[in-house]
Amino acid sequence: MYISGNREAATIEVKTNWAAVPAGGKGALREWECMCGWRLTVLGGRVAEVRWGSGRILARAGHHVVGVDTSPHMLALACEKLATAGPEVAARARLVQGDLRYFDLSELFDLAIVAIKTFAYLITRHDQQRALAAVAAHLRPGGLLVIEVLNPTPDWLSRPAGSVRQDVFGHLPSSASVARTETMVSTDLATQVRVIRSAYETVSDGVVTKHFVEWPFRYTQRFEAEHLLERAGFVVESVQGGYHGEAYTSDSSVLLLVGRRRD
């Protein structure tokens, strides 16, 4: 396994933190692994995972994976996880620091995945179109894209500014506890952008440490998502409301689309 792009990323010390996996957590990651692994038995074996994050899903299942992420810190965490998984798993992974909208891996893949709602970080139509065009350019004719977008359920859309929910709680190997609490700051219905403030609280040996991060998410409606994929050169094969082919409804926890690159 090696990192392309920023070599400094491989030496940054970052603690593995499964307890703080965002937006779906460990269960969702395992569901992605099973679903995409099944598709690879049909398609072949080369995968591009865009916005790799901290190192997800498929290398440990036996597939050859190239992971792309903008963050050297997240790539460093991915390096740590791959090293823990052992040399055979690490040898099947290549990590590249690159922008989701403009990355160039100089090879074609059987399957590209954009997992766990990372597409929502692209908040303009131009950025969304650029990212999908970059993904399409890296797929062989007939290759598949599996993408999960943030599904704006009626309950999610109706949450008022200032509403709070705790969506992550767990313990690190050091026995420290980690909790993430999200506050809804604002929602702009015209631009489909919601601003979230996340508070990460770590308690270790009686010491409480807090970190705050604020970021915008752009939610995407079902037919809007289909249209974006079609404009990028994909034929939409399915729209699902879960990781096992569940029918999509307005209340689905997941909006999952499968698109095939046109020949």
- Distances, alpha carbon 141 to alpha carbons 48, 102, 262, in Å: 15, 20, 6
pLDDT(259) > 70: yes
Q: Break the chain into its structural domains and give their ranges.
A: 2-152+219-261, 154-217
List the 234-240 sheet strands across, edge first: 2-4, 93-97, 64-69, 46-50, 109-114, 139-149, 255-261, 234-240
The string of pLDDT tens digits covering residues 111-138 is 898 887 889 999 999 999 999 999 999 9
Distances, alpha carbon 157 to alpha carbons 163, 220, 223, 239, 247, in Å: 12, 12, 17, 21, 21
The count of other CB atoms within 10 Å of the CB of residue 85 is 16
Split at pLDDT 50, 70, 90, the class of 53 is low
Contact partners, residue 236, CB within 8 Å, separation at least 6: 226, 229, 230, 257, 258, 259
pLDDT of 63 over the 80 cut: no
Six token digits for residue 244: 């096992």
From residue 146, give the alpha-carbon distance in Å to each of 48, 81, 170: 11, 23, 29
Question: Residue 261 CA to chain centroid, in angstroms?
Answer: 20
Task: Kindly tell me if the per-residue pLDDT of 157 is higher than 90.
Answer: yes
Helix (H) or strand (E) holding 26: helix 25-43
Question: What integer pLDDT is reported at residue 240 of this predicted model?
Answer: 92
Given a contact cutoff of 8 angstroms between Cβ atoms, the answer to whether 134 and 102 are in contact is yes
Calculate the dihedral angle through the C-alpha atoms of 225, 231, 232, 237, rounding to the nearest 10 degrees.
60
Q: Given 2.40.10.170, 3.40.50.150, 1.10.600.10, 3.30.460.20, which CATH number is that of 2-152+219-261?
A: 3.40.50.150
Which residues are registered as beta bridge partners of 8?
A: none
The fraction of the chain above a pLDDT of 90, given in percent, is 40
Instruction: Tell me the average pLDDT across 169-185.
Output: 84
Contact criterion met (CB below 8 Å) for 258 and 237: yes
